[in-house]
């Protein structure tokens, strides 16, 4: 798989209606409530805070932050997921600005109090473009703004046997993920096979996983002054914990 060939097309094909069909089934509302609460605390949000979510998907976090009183903007590459996000926002009677776009090229400058990439939404591109995402996020933030990145802890991933196979079944529909880790490039590669309505569809996705010192270097280069590491939902980071959460202050 060549993740550099056309990453936007690969992302759009992966984060499709099939993704929505299974993710909506796998992630219960209470999980999304907990995630939104953790983000609110980690970013020190208040009523009226302006917040940007990069890779907002179907709005499970953005709409909840809006319910808490934040002024939220969500950006994603998938029109299908954004449509679902807008429908959910209307049902919740909250006002969220949803934008179809590329996180490597943002239209905002010095606008937001905080920005975040949640649930392993950073690392889709090659090295230069991943760093470009961080520079764009920094430019979108006001002075004193905070950036939050949540990803899998690569120390845990590299202990997993590779490749592995995960199967999700929803009624008669199947999602099969074949996952391999490349220790030389620190990338986690996914081949996804979806069987629905008599059709079989395949997508691929590759995610670069960074260590904390790499984040420090990249984020300081992007213009952030301080960088801190946490574990899942803001707890203490440990090498055996499932998540690495990074918070950078501009």
Q: Does residue 1 lie in a domain region?
A: no
pTM: 0.96
Round to whole Å and give the CA distance between 248 and 149. 9
DSSP 60-117: TTHHHHHHTT-EEEEEES-HHHHHHHHHHHHHHT---EEEE--TTS-S-SS-EEEEEE
Residue pair 168/174 in contact by the 8 Å Cβ criterion: yes
Task: Please write the tens of the pLDDT for every residue from 198-207.
Answer: 999 999 999 9
- Residue 77 in any domain: the answer is yes
129 domain residue, yes or no: yes
For the domain that residue 98 is a member of, what is the CATH number? 3.40.50.150
Helix and strand numbers, DSSP H then E, in the chain = 8, 11
pLDDT of residue 160: 78
Residue 4 pLDDT more than 50?
Answer: no
Q: Are residues 87 and 72 in the same domain?
A: yes
d(CA 198, CA 81): 23
Give me the domain span that covers residue 135.
Answer: 7-152+211-249
Encode pLDDT of 142-199 as tens digits: 999 999 999 999 999 888 778 999 999 999 999 999 999 998 999 999 999 999 999 9
In a domain, 127, yes or no: yes
- pLDDT tens for residues 208-218? 999 999 999 99
pLDDT digits (tens, 9 = 90+) for 86-124: 999 999 999 999 999 999 999 999 999 999 999 999 999
**Are 62 and 121 members of one domain?**
yes
Number of domains in the chain: 2
User: Does 111 share its domain with 179?
Assistant: no
Q: Does one domain contain both 90 and 198?
A: no
pLDDT for residue 1 is more than 80: no
| pLDDT value at residue 5 | 67
């Amino acid at each position: 798989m060549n993740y550099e060939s056309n990453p936007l097309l690969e992302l759009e094909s992966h984060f499709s209606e099939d993704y929505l069909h299974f993710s909506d089934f796998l992630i219960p509302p209470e999980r999304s409530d907990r995630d939104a609460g953790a983000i609110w605390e980690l970013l020190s949000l208040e009523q009226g805070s302006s917040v940007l979510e990069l890779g907002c998907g179907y709005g499970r976090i953005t709409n909840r932050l809006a319910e808490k009183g934040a002024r939220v903007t969500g950006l994603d590459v998938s029109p299908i997921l954004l449509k679902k996000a807008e429908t959910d926002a209307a049902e919740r009677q909250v006002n969220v600005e949803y934008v179809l776009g590329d996180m490597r090229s943002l239209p905002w400058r010095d606008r937001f109090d905080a920005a975040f990439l949640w649930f392993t939404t950073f690392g889709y591109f090659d090295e230069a473009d991943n760093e470009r995402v961080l520079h764009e996020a920094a430019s979108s933030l006001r002075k004193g703004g905070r950036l939050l990145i949540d990803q899998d802890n690569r120390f845990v991933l590299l202990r997993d046997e590779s490749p592995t196979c995960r199967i999700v079944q929803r009624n008669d529909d199947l999602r099969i993920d074949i996952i391999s880790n490349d220790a030389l490039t620190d990338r986690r590669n996914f081949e996804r096979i979806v069987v629905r309505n008599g059709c079989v569809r395949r997508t691929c996705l590759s995610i670069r996983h960074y260590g904390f010192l790499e984040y420090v270097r990249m984020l300081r280069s992007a213009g952030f002054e301080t960088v801190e590491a946490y574990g899942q939902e803001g707890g203490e980071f440990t090498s055996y914990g499932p998540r690495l959460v990074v918070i950078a202050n501009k």
